[in-house]
Amino acid sequence: MRLVTIRSGAGDEAAGADASTPRPAVVLASGRLLTFGALARVAGWPVSDAIERLALAELLTADPELGAIREALEMSDAGALEAAALDPATVRLSAPIPRPGKIVGVGYNYLDHIREQGLERPARPVLFSMFANAVVADGQPIRHPAGTHALDLEAELAVVIGRRASRVKPAEAARCVAGYTAANDVTARDWQGQARALRPGEKGDGQWLRAKGSDTFLPLGPVMVTADEFGRGRGRDGRGLAVRSWLTAAAGPDANRPFQMQDGNTSDLLFSVADLISIISAEVTLDPGDVIVTGTPSGVGVFREPQVFLAPGDLVKIEVEGIGSLTNPVTDADGRAPTGSPAARFMAERLMADRSSGEASTP
């Protein structure tokens, strides 16, 4: 299954829902979005406000295999499901898990990324934490704080935990995975203390919390794809998926043209998804809806010659094979982008699309 969380939209409001409440939905084969509440009505479940407000993490807590959702989809009339679903053009998405309870980041998990830094292969993964304040959705701005001059991107596969995991063995870890989504682990390299990003006399924090956990620094989405969607082989365990990123810069020699930054594959993960779940859960219990961001391949801006850092007006795209892409404009700390920049054009186009869908959805 492919699952999203709807945050707002004119079509959502026209369907009689509270657009201020993020609500999970199933992506039908047609691409239309069927909310859990609408599915319950079609399936003949007792409908209540609680179903409309049920978050994906809460559903996973109650039903890690999503068996009730699968059964309702299988038993319901396909035409009725389509009729009850929303046109994706009329809504905006939140991150699939808008406010994860825990977010665990992984550093140095691709050999090519380690080599571009001149480091040795680690014996254990480097783990760090982020918080829900960093999470934004596809299309939402990455806000560039005034205090950093070395903001960088990192395309990554993210794992959504589906059942409680404590001291899990690698062989048992797969059953703890609800699904996968795409992530951009935005990083202020100077705050991180990365030597190549520091100007003369600078030291940086030397800590990763502010460098990676600031507001808007973790775009997630656009969908969560359940592991079974990838079949028995490639991708089910998070392996074999292409991970790529592009930057459309507002200035410089490649201005206004998408430039590919990264082109990796999760087959090159040093520590697999199962390894990570086992290692983390040895001391830190993982709960449904928690997210593990598994690391990034080579090609990030700080290790390029010349270096490439994000600036207000830029547009960033992250893609994970089988999941989809995240596109986020980069703005200043107040949410502004230079007039005519790729970010400004992107935001203007989305605003026009929102207005058009609102007019089309008005009875």
Q: Which CATH number is 288's domain given? A: 3.90.850.10
Q: What tens digit of pLDDT does each residue of 237-270 get?
A: 899 999 999 999 999 988 999 999 999 999 999 9
Q: What tens digit of pLDDT does each residue of 324-358 get?
A: 999 999 999 999 999 999 999 999 999 998 887 76
Distances (CA, A) of 23 to 12, 95, 103: 10, 11, 21
- Name the domain boundary from 94, 126, 157: 94
- The structure's pTM equals 0.94
Q: Are residue 47 and residue 174 in the same domain, yes or no? A: no
Q: Where are the beta strands (DSSP E) in the chain?
A: 2-8, 23-27, 33-35, 92-94, 103-107, 126-130, 135-136, 142-144, 151-152, 155-161, 177-184, 187-188, 218-226, 242-248, 258-265, 291-293, 315-320, 324-332
Give the pLDDT confidence score for residue 49 in this predicted structure: 63
Q: Are residue 68 and residue 160 in the same domain, yes or no? A: no
In a domain, 325, yes or no: yes
Q: Are residue 215 and residue 309 in the same domain, yes or no? A: yes
Could you give the CA distance from residue 351 to residue 321 in angstroms, rounded to a whole number?
Answer: 28
Q: Are residue 46 and residue 186 in the same domain, yes or no? A: no
Give the pLDDT confidence score for residue 234 in this predicted structure: 54
Residue 200 one-letter amino acid: P
Give the pLDDT confidence score for residue 7 in this predicted structure: 87
Q: Are residue 194 and residue 336 in the same domain, yes or no? A: yes
- Name the domain boundary from 72, 94, 116: 94
In a domain, 361, yes or no: no
By the 8 A CB rule, do 257 and 343 touch? no
Q: Is the pLDDT of residue 78 over 80?
A: yes
Give the pLDDT confidence score for residue 43 in this predicted structure: 92
Range in 118-127, 171-180, 256-265, 302-311 the model is least confident about: 118-127
SS3 258: strand
Give the pLDDT confidence score for residue 22 in this predicted structure: 85
pLDDT band at 132 (very low <50, low <70, confident <90, very high): very high
Give the pLDDT confidence score for residue 53 in this predicted structure: 77
Percent of residues, the chain, with pLDDT higher than 90 = 82
Distances (CA, A) of 95 to 9, 81, 91, 250: 15, 23, 13, 26
By the 8 A CB rule, do 25 and 86 touch? yes
Q: Is the pLDDT of residue 293 over 90?
A: yes
pLDDT band at 233 (very low <50, low <70, confident <90, very high): low
More confident residue, 19 or 87: 87
Structure tokens, 323: 């999941």
In a domain, 298, yes or no: yes
- Name the domain boundary from 94, 111, 128: 94
Phi, psi at residue 71, to the nearest 5°? -65, -40
Q: Are residue 8 and residue 144 in the same domain, yes or no? A: no
Structure tokens, 182: 């795409």
CB atoms near residue 79 (< 10 Å): 9
H helical segments located in the chain: 10-14, 36-43, 49-53, 56-62, 67-75, 78-84, 111-116, 189-192, 208-213, 273-281, 342-361
Q: What tens digit of pLDDT does each residue of 269-291 get?
A: 999 999 999 999 999 999 999 99
Could you give the CA distance from residue 54 to residue 42 in angstroms, rounded to a whole number?
Answer: 17
Give the pLDDT confidence score for residue 152 in this predicted structure: 98
Range in 34-43, 150-159, 224-233, 328-337 the model is least confident about: 224-233
The single residue listed with the structure tokens 């703005």 is 331
Percent of residues, the chain, with pLDDT higher than 70 = 92
Q: Are residue 88 and residue 107 in the same domain, yes or no? A: no
Question: What mean pLDDT is predicted for residues 75-89?
Answer: 96
Q: Are residue 137 and residue 64 in the same domain, yes or no? A: no
Q: Is the pLDDT of residue 10 over 60?
A: no
pLDDT band at 230 (very low <50, low <70, confident <90, very high): confident
In a domain, 359, yes or no: no
Q: Are residue 149 and residue 295 in the same domain, yes or no? A: yes
State the total domains in the chain.
2
Could you give the CA distance from residue 263 to residue 245 in angstroms, rounded to a whole number?
Answer: 7
Structure tokens, 162: 């589906």
Pairing of strands 218-226, 135-136: parallel
By the 8 A CB rule, do 57 and 286 touch? no
Q: Are residue 160 and residue 210 in the same domain, yes or no? A: yes
Q: What tens digit of pLDDT does each residue of 168-214 get?
A: 999 999 999 999 999 999 999 999 999 999 999 998 888 899 999 99
Q: Is the pLDDT of residue 16 over 70?
A: no
Q: Are residue 277 and residue 160 in the same domain, yes or no? A: yes
Distances (CA, A) of 284 to 129, 280, 336: 11, 6, 39
Could you give the CA distance from residue 205 to residue 346 in angstroms, rounded to a whole number?
Answer: 33
In a domain, 360, yes or no: no
Phi, psi at residue 164, to the nearest 5°? -60, 130
Q: Are residue 66 and residue 161 in the same domain, yes or no? A: no
Range in 116-130, 163-177, 289-303 the model is least confident about: 116-130
By the 8 A CB rule, do 94 and 21 touch? no
Question: What mean pLDDT is predicted for residues 66-91?
Answer: 95
List 93's β-bridge partners, or say none: 6
Could you give the CA distance from residue 230 to residue 65 in angstroms, rounded to a whole number?
Answer: 15
Domain range for 51 is 2-94
List 3's β-bridge partners, or say none: 26, 224
Average predicted confidence (pLDDT) for the chain = 92
In a domain, 362, yes or no: no
Q: Is the pLDDT of residue 105 over 90?
A: yes
SS3 231: coil
In a domain, 10, yes or no: yes
